[in-house]
Amino acid sequence: MTEMNINHFLSDESEFNNEDSSSKKAPLKPIPKIINGRYKIKRVLGVGGMGIVYQVDDLLLKSIGLEQYEFAIKVLNSESAEFNDADLLLVNEYLQANQLQHPNIVPIQHLALCEESQRGFLVMPMIKGELLSLLLDSPFEDIPDEARLKYAFILINCLLHCHKRGVIHGDLKPSNILISNNNELHLFDFSISRNIDPDKNNFAINFNQVHAWSGDYAAPEVLQGNAPTIKSDLYSLSILLYKLLLRTHPYQQKENTVETRTKEQQKIHKLLLQAMGPVPAERHLNFKVLISVFKEIKNKQNTEKKKPLLQKVTSVFSRH
């Protein structure tokens, strides 16, 4: 087996980070159905702005009788992979994600190179579930209020963990969040994440070439090609929480929506708006106050659960 080092992920002429470069690699070789004689592709799990995620069977683990042989692998899509040194995005994701240890952040277990296609790939645990983006926008799914509150709390906890470890996620949005079959939230996709300490960003990324962001969730400065920051993460988090807890995008709601909300919902509205300003330095989010509002809502939910059915029906009619 050939000894591997970072040079296997570098092109002969580094041009991925060159602002003026339109140089492309030679035509991409397709990913084989069985990668390196070990990972057998079963199906596509998802396609994002920069990557494709496949469900695979680890044939080695399967052959020795282990039950946990299903994994997910990520490769760059054809558009992203065309640029020289594009695989460094995968290297960056591996380095940044491995600074984190949180039960609700998807870990990256392995970084490797496909011998046949000479394309890099990441190996991650296989988590069965649905993307939050599908659950939020589906007319056939309705996330219960209790679950929305739980997901919001976990999401805040995930981001605070990232920032405490010095990692800026950079691309918070519902399609980068998985809700597992046992109703747990999992944050993933650190491909364009950065470290708060510039010295720990081993590889430069030309953000003008990044096409992963969603205009509905990315901060204005990020959409203009600037590197993500803690303040841009805060912006994206606030819009995500708004959509999750108040069931609408803050910039796409009807004029009279705010007036019909409960006292707690109005508090959430005001708190989250403080983190959505166009000027990064003016964005603030008081997590302590926000969590206290969550507790108020949770207490109300618990009280409502204890009410007899007849009293619940009576209270519904009394409000109309």
pLDDT tens-digit map of 221-241: 999 888 899 999 999 999 999
Angle at 227 between CA 5 and CA 287, to 5 degrees: 110
- Answer yes or no: is pLDDT of 145 > 70: yes
Q: At what angle do helices 263-273 and 230-246 cross, to 10 degrees?
A: 160
77-81, 111-115, 243-247: range with lowest mean pLDDT? 77-81
- Total-model pTM: 0.86
Q: What is the mean pLDDT of the chain?
A: 87
Q: Is 200 annotated as a binding residue?
A: no
Structural domains of the chain sorted by starting position, each given as residue range(s) with its CATH number in brackets:
6-125 (3.30.200.20), 129-306 (1.10.510.10)
φ/ψ of residue 37, rounded to 5:
70, 10
Give the separation between CA 104 and CA 101, rounded to whole angstroms. Answer: 9
Q: Is 131 helix (H, G, I), strand (E, B) or coil?
A: strand
CB 294 within 8 A of CB 152: yes
Task: Write the pLDDT tens digit of every residue in 299-319.
Answer: 998 887 776 755 555 554 455
- What are 47-60's pLDDT values in tens digits? 887 889 999 999 99
Q: Which among 212, 250, 242, 244 is positioned nearest to 228, based on CA atoms? A: 212
In degrees, to the nearest 5, what angle opens at C-alpha 290 toward C-alphas 319 and 178?
95
Q: How sure is the predictor about 1, in pLDDT bands with cuts at 50, 70 and 90?
A: very low
Q: Over 70: is that where the pLDDT of 10 sits? A: no
Under a CB-based contact definition with an 8 Å cutoff, are residues 56 and 73 in contact? yes
Look at phi and psi of residue 189 and say left if phi exceeds 0, alpha if psi is from -120 to 50, else beta: left
Do residues 87 and 251 lie in contact, with contact meaning Cβ atoms separated by under 8 Å? no
CA nearest to 39, candidates 134, 137, 124: 124
